[in-house]
Amino acid sequence: MKFIIGIGGVTNGGKTTLTNRLLKTLPNCCVVHQDDFFKKPDQIEVGEDGFRQWDGKNGFRVRKPCMITALDMEAMINTVKGWQENPIKFARSHGVSLSPEAEEAGSEEKGIHILIVEGFLIYNYKPLIDVYDKCFYISIPYEECKRRRSTRTYTVPDPAGLFDGHVWPMYLKHRKEMEDNCDRIEYLDGMTSKEEIYNKVYETINNSLLNSL
């Protein structure tokens, strides 16, 4: 059985922390990080707000869904499809240890195979929305998000005014779009402890897996 989990949320909300914990405890579990699909800085357009649109989207293109311009979403969805086609091969190529049952069977029809898709815009792209079996989204308030972001070091440093002038306004815009596009999301309070968030998500996933068997 194949099972795909979405872990979305605001920047610095705790998505990666939760994902890494789940990777250690869920069986035959692989991950696709949306951050791995950012384009190079010189490929990111500058918007009317004066900032490069790391969190931005353009409008509809002919015969194509609304694209997230800062990300190579085609490559991301192809990676997810690669897992769907052969989760065992995908796991081995990414150094993921498989359970003895999966190794011996050599078929995804035996046992459970899980993929986590993690990122801040994973519910704003229609081809991805359709693949999830379970959707989670972590939220934190403006003040806490700004505080956490200020303590992080990025490969491309935040220019002055980026958070208030671009990051937070785009988060609010994308969240509204997400809420309009996907009604299967379970929201998580990022202000609760990491342990509490993990326990809640792990229990929910286990219950879903049991009900799917």
Active site residues: 35
Percent helix, strand and coil across the chain, each to the nearest 5 = 45, 15, 40
What residue spans of the chain are helical by DSSP H? Answer: 15-25, 73-85, 87-93, 100-105, 126-129, 142-150, 162, 168-181, 194-212
Phi, psi of 29 (to 5 degrees): -105, 125
Phi, psi of 134 (to 5 degrees): -145, 135
What are the Cα distances from residue 181, in Å, to 86, 124, 126?
29, 7, 8
Q: In the beta sheet, which residues pair with residue 3?
A: 114
